[in-house]
Amino acid sequence: MSQAFVEGTRVPVSLIKVGPCIVTQVKKKEKDGYWAVQIGFGEKKIKNVTKPLQGHLKGATKDKKAPRFLREVKFEEEPKLKLGDVISVSDVFKKGDLVAVTGISKGKGFQGVVKRWGFAGGPRTHGQSDRLRAPGSIGQGTTPGRVWKGKKMPGRMGGAKITIQNLVVVKVEPDKNEIALSGPVPGNPKGLLIIKKLASGKLDELVQEAPEVQAQVEQPEEEPQLDSAKHTQRGPVRSESISPGEKEESKDKKKAASPEGEVKNE
C-alpha cells in the first residue's frame, strides 16, 4: 500500500501490477456454447509445464516461458481478440473507473469467536479465570435440543474468496504496468487478483470538500471598571470584623489628629 494526492486530498491506495496479459484461447459459441477468452498472466519456465499444457499454450509461449496463471473471461458477444494478442492495463482501465477486486483472503488458522465473529467475551471479574473469550451459551434446552446450523462458533478463519466492490482507479501507469486503487484489497502480497471494471467514473468521490474557515477576531482583555460613585474596582467585597476596643482607639486617634481636639485639651 501507498498514498496518493487527489486535488490536495491524501488517499490511501494499493499498488497492483496488472498485465500484460496474453490471450491463450478464444472460445466460440458454436463449439463451446458461449463466448469467452482465456488469458494468461505471469511467467514460468517451459520445462516446468506439463506436456498437455504445453500443447494448449503453443501459441502463447515465448522465449521458452509460459504464462503462470490462466483465467477465463466471458463475453456477451464475439470478442475481437485473437490467440497471442497482448492486453495491457491502459487498454481496459483509466482514471476514475469503478472496479471490483476478487482475491483469496489471508489465512488465519483456527480462531475463536472473539476474533472470528467479533464477540465481546465474558466479564473480567466475578471469578471468571478462564472464560474471558468464551462464546457462552450456544443453544436452548429441550427445545430444540440441539444447536442450529449456521451458529457462529470457533473455526477456521480466512483463506476464502472475497470480492470488494466500488474501488476507484486513482492512477494508471502503462510503463510500469501498475494501477493504483483506493483502499486495501484482499490477499497476501504477490497474490493473484481478478480486477473487473464496473463503470466509468471520476475522481470526485475521493475529494473531500475543505471546511470553511471563518475569520476570528481576538478581543482585547477588558480593563477593570471603576465605580464612579465610590471610585473602587468592581470585585469581590472583603468583610472585616472590628472589635469595640479597636473602634474606641480609632476615635481617639482621629480626635488627636484634628485641630479642634487640641484646643479643647488645653
DSSP code at position 205 = G
pTM of this structure: 0.67
Phi (first) and psi of residue 265, to 5 degrees: -70, -35
The DSSP code sequence of 123-135 is -S-TT-SS-TT--
Q: What is the pLDDT of residue 123?
A: 87
Closest CA to 113 of 132, 129, 141, 130: 132
Question: How high is the pLDDT of residue 58?
Answer: 85
Same domain assignment for residues 27 and 94: no
2 found inside a domain: yes
Quote the pLDDT of residue 254.
Answer: 55
What is the predicted pLDDT for the residue at 80? 87
The distance in angstroms from the start CA to the end CA of the chain is: 106
For 163-222, the pLDDT digits (tens) are 999 999 998 998 988 999 999 999 998 899 999 988 887 776 666 554 554 556 566 666
pLDDT at residue 7, rounded to an integer: 83
- Do 36 and 83 share a domain, yes or no? yes
Query: Which residue type is seen at 139?
Result: G
Domain encompassing residue 166:
1-18+89-111+153-205
Q: Are residues 52 and 27 in the same domain?
A: yes
Q: Could you tell me the CATH number of the domain that includes residue 26?
A: 3.30.160.810
Q: What is residue 82's predicted lDDT score, i.e. its pLDDT?
A: 87
Low-confidence ranges of the chain (pLDDT < 70): 204-266
- Does 169 reside within a domain? yes
Shared domain check, 35 and 83: yes
Nearest to 73 by CA among 125, 120, 19, 111: 19
Partners of 35 in the β-ladder: 75
User: What's the domain count of the chain?
Assistant: 2
Residue 137 in any domain: the answer is: no
Contact 68, 39 (CB under 8 A): no
Domain shared by 29 and 81, yes or no: yes
